[in-house]
């Protein structure tokens, strides 16, 4: 029999103290108005795994009033609460755990601001099982250029496959780096001060904010892209919410 992992946490002043049993598994990073302002990283657990040891709590509600936003009555810190998504569970703020560095946690994005219902439904879907992905088979499913398809997701990132043909537009991604790996053919990555030729088996990472233009003028090219979910290939931030819902997954 193995020992149960116990995580201990507290508010800022230490008046509220609690314990949570079990390994730190799925962590969610919600972009809704209250979670972003609180800096809340969500770890949702059943009440049987949570113990409040001490502290006086105050409660805030809004909207549907389903969520009970509890916070320390003394220092105002939000170490845990009752979430709208799981009203029969406890939602622990990973940032308030004493023994965890949140910078080491790969949190899954949760679109509480744009599509709360869709994000909630996604939590109930069975976890994907590992499977082999054949890039040649995926490429055979589409033939249009400059229209990336999502073939995998991990840690809030998307792996996309795209065909390139001719020149693209000059653009930059203000909030994301972008990786290009050539899987077929060759293309030229144009920067404002130079151009870099890439062929099959070679890759390049374009740092955020750097203007670039991929050009495939020696025949069609296929590339693998690795970038945060929702990033659009034109760098148009206003289109990102639409892209999350419409980008085809194959």
Residue 119 shares a structural domain with residue 142: no
pLDDT computed for residue 78 by the predictor: 96
Same-domain pairing of 104 and 202: no
Sign of CA dihedral 45, 48, 49, 50: positive
| Structural domain contains residue 194 | yes
Domain count for the chain, please give it.
2
| pLDDT tens for each residue of 149-158 | 999 988 778 8
More confident residue, 129 or 46: 46
Instruction: Tell me, yes or no, whether 77 and 165 share the same domain.
Output: no
In a domain, 200, yes or no: yes
Does residue 11 sit in the same domain as residue 36?
Answer: yes
In a domain, 129, yes or no: no
**pTM score, whole prediction:** 0.59
Domain encompassing residue 219 = 135-246
Kindly state whether residue 130 falls inside one of the protein's structural domains: no
Residues 6+ apart with CB under 8 A from 230: 240, 241, 243, 244
Last residue of a domain, one of 99, 123, 147: 123
Per the listing, tokens 């949760």 go with 110
pLDDT band at 213 (very low <50, low <70, confident <90, very high): very high
The token pair that represents 75 in the structure block? 């220092």
Residues 52 and 91 in one domain: yes
**Collapsed DSSP state (helix, strand, coil) of residue 81:** strand
| Same domain membership, residue 71 and residue 23 | yes
Query: Quick check: 129 and 37 in contact, CB under 8 A?
Result: no
Half-sphere exposure of 56 (CA within 13 A, CB side): 3
Q: Are residues 115 and 146 in the same domain?
A: no
Q: Which pLDDT score is estimated for 124?
A: 85
Tens digit of each residue's pLDDT (9 = 90 or more) over 86-125: 999 999 999 999 989 988 888 888 999 988 888 898 888 8
Query: What whole-number distance in Å separates Cα of residue 49 and Cα of residue 31?
Result: 26
Residues 89 and 148 in one domain: no
Q: Are residues 164 and 205 in the same domain?
A: yes
Name the token pair of 60. Answer: 């805030």
* pLDDT higher than 60, residue 46: yes
Q: Are 94 and 104 in contact (CB under 8 A)?
A: no
Is the domain of 104 the same as that of 146? no
- Tens-place pLDDT, residues 2-16: 467 999 999 999 999
Domain-ending residue, one of 101, 123, 145:
123
């Amino acid at each position: 029999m193995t020992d149960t992992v116990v995580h201990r946490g507290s508010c800022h002043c230490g008046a509220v103290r609690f314990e949570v049993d079990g390994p730190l598994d799925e962590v969610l990073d919600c972009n809704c108005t209250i979670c972003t302002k609180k800096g809340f990283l969500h770890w949702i657990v059943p009440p049987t795994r949570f113990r409040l040891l001490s502290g006086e709590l105050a409660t805030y509600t809004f909207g549907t009033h389903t969520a009970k936003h509890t916070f320390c009555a003394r220092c105002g810190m939000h170490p845990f609460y009752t979430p709208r998504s799981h009203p029969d569970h406890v939602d622990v703020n990973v940032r308030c755990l004493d023994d965890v560095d949140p910078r080491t946690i790969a949190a899954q994005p949760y679109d509480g601001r744009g599509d709360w219902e869709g994000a909630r439904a996604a939590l109930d879907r069975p976890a994907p099982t590992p499977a082999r992905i054949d890039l040649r088979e995926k490429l055979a499913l589409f033939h249009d250029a400059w229209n990336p398809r999502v073939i995998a997701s991990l840690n809030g990132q998307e792996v996309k496959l795209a065909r390139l043909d001719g020149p693209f537009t000059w653009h930059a991604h203000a909030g994301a780096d972008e990786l290009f790996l050539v899987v077929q053919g060759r293309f030229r990555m144009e920067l404002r001060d130079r151009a870099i030729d890439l062929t099959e088996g070679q890759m390049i990472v374009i740092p955020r904010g750097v203007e670039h233009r991929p050009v495939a003028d020696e025949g069609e090219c296929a590339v693998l892209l690795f970038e945060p979910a929702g990033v659009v290939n034109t760098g148009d931030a206003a289109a990102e919410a639409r892209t999350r819902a419409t980008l085809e997954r194959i």
